[in-house]
């Protein structure tokens, strides 16, 4: 089965559509449904001076903060240069100490492995320090676009994606070390969690309970911008639940115990996916457990009526 997502968004409203290709006994046929679905949104009061008509002072401050985006790249280059300098020094030490060039290269190679691990660890921990220094703890709240909180949050993202992700973090996807790194940011992660994505924007608002799975390419989206106001809400993925590859879970959503969200799906804002059910599509649609074809523990699975609850008013 292949799924293509279409997601339209405007300042005044957000809608989504879906295009699903389904397999049949005679081959592949397509089922096309482009009927718009409104994405639930809250009414947010905002000050025009911090959204659409910011003062010149705010514009200048925004530019200054944007200029700080180069800092993680500078730090990354410093770490690279320091690593090369240290390994070069090791090579020269062995060579000038009487070792042959081949032997000196061999000793330097042995030293290189722990050196690269240390360098990668430093690069992974600097964004953690930046998050706690610049933001502290993310909370459920609304912030206008032209506020230092939004800018500092974006700067933390740059630290994460420029320093940590290219190195040791990308190689540790789905491992306990990756979960530990996320816990340092404030993500609530239980035991035996499979997490294969770093797109958990507001770390403190994400909860991944015991045995849950968050697959590659997924986004646990804990914020949305509407009318140039950033609204942050938690996303909870309960015990043994699965969020399939390339899927989205929007702010305020909850995936119940042992529920499965198929690949390329969208769990809309404030939706509550019932336990022991299967869903797929954009937006997510109920699929009977027997027909879903997803790997599941049938001994603990029970049928559900497929009613998707939402807390939006």
- The pLDDT score that the predictor gives to residue 45 is 73
Please check whether residue 263 is in contact with residue 306, taking contact to mean a CB–CB distance below 8 angstroms: no
- Map the chain to HEC letters: CEEEEEEEECCCCEEEEEEEEEEECCEEEEEEEEEEEECCCCCCCCCHHHCCCCCHHHHHHHHHHHHCCHHHHHHHHHHHHHHHHHHHHHHHHHHHCCCCHHHHHHHHHHHHHHHHHHHHHHHHHHHHHHHHHHCCCCCCEEEECCCHHHHHHHHHHHHHHHHHHHHHHHHCCCCHHHHHHHHHHCCEECCCCEECCCCCCCHHHEEECCCCEECCCCEECCEEEECCEEEECCEEECCCCEECCCCEECCCCEECCCCEECCCCEECCCEEECCCCEEECCCCEEECHHHHCCCCCCCCCCCCCCCCEECCC
- The pLDDT score that the predictor gives to residue 14 is 47
CA distance 9 to 266: 14
Crossing angle for the helix pair 56-67 and 148-159, to the nearest 10 degrees: 10
* Residues making up the chain, counted from first to last: 313
Beta bridge partners of 144: 229
CA distance 63 to 151: 10
Whether the link from the prior residue into 178 is cis, omega within 30° of 0, is: no
Q: Which two tokens stand for residue 139?
A: 């909370």
Please check whether residue 169 is in contact with residue 187, taking contact to mean a CB–CB distance below 8 angstroms: no
Q: What's the pLDDT tens digit per position in 165-174?
A: 998 999 999 9
- The pLDDT score that the predictor gives to residue 32 is 47
Please check whether residue 232 is in contact with residue 222, taking contact to mean a CB–CB distance below 8 angstroms: yes
- The pLDDT score that the predictor gives to residue 210 is 96
Please check whether residue 230 is in contact with residue 247, taking contact to mean a CB–CB distance below 8 angstroms: no
| Per-residue pLDDT in tens (0 to 9) along the chain, 313 residues | 333 333 434 334 444 444 333 333 334 334 444 556 666 666 677 789 999 999 999 999 999 999 999 999 999 999 999 999 999 999 999 999 888 999 999 999 999 999 999 999 999 999 999 999 999 999 999 999 999 999 999 999 999 999 999 989 999 999 999 999 999 999 999 999 999 999 999 999 999 999 999 999 999 999 999 889 999 999 999 999 999 999 999 999 999 999 999 999 999 999 999 999 999 998 999 988 777 777 655 434 444 555 555 544 3
CA distance 197 to 214: 7
Please state, in angstroms and as integers, the Cα–Cα distance from residue 228 to each residue in 46, 72, 123, 148, 302, following that order.
8, 26, 32, 14, 42
Angle at 146 between CA 63 and CA 46, to 5 degrees: 165
- The pLDDT score that the predictor gives to residue 313 is 38
- The pLDDT score that the predictor gives to residue 302 is 43
Count the neighbouring beta carbons within 10 Å of the beta carbon of residue 118.
14
Count the neighbouring beta carbons within 10 Å of the beta carbon of residue 221.
21
Beta bridge partners of 116: none
Beta bridge partners of 273: 255
- The pLDDT score that the predictor gives to residue 37 is 61
Instruction: Tell me the pTM.
Output: 0.81
- The pLDDT score that the predictor gives to residue 30 is 42
């Amino acid at each position: 089965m292949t799924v293509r997502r279409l997601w339209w968004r405007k300042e005044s409203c957000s809608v989504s559509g879906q295009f699903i290709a389904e397999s049949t006994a005679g081959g592949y046929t397509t089922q096309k449904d482009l009927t718009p679905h409104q994405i639930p949104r809250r009414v947010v009061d905002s000050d025009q001076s911090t959204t659409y008509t910011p003062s010149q002072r705010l514009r200048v401050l925004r530019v200054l903060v944007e200029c700080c985006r180069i800092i993680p790249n500078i730090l990354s280059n410093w770490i690279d240069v320091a690593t090369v300098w240290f390994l070069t020094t090791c090579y020269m030490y062995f060579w000038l100490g009487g070792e042959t060039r081949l032997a000196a290269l061999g000793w330097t190679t042995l030293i290189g492995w722990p050196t690269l691990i240390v360098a990668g660890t430093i690069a992974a921990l600097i964004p953690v320090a930046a998050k706690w220094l610049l933001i502290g703890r993310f909370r459920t709240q609304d912030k206008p676009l032209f506020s230092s909180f939004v800018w500092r949050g974006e700067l933390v993202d740059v630290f994460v994606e420029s320093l940590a992700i290219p190195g040791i973090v990308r190689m540790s996807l789905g491992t306990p070390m990756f979960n530990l790194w996320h816990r340092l940011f404030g993500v609530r992660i239980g035991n035996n969690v499979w997490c294969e994505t770093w797109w958990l924007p507001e770390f403190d608002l994400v909860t991944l309970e015991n045995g849950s799975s968050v697959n590659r390419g997924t986004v646990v989206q804990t914020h949305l911008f509407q009318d140039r106001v950033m609204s942050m809400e938690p996303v909870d993925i309960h015990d043994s639940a699965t969020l399939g590859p390339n899927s989205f879970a929007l702010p305020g959503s909850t995936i119940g115990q042992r529920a499965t969200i198929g690949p390329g799906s969208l769990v809309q804002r404030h939706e509550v996916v019932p336990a022991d059910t299967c869903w797929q599509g954009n937006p997510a649609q109920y699929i009977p457990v027997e027909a879903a074809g997803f790997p599941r523990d049938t001994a603990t699975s029970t049928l559900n009526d497929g009613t998707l609850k939402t807390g939006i008013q």
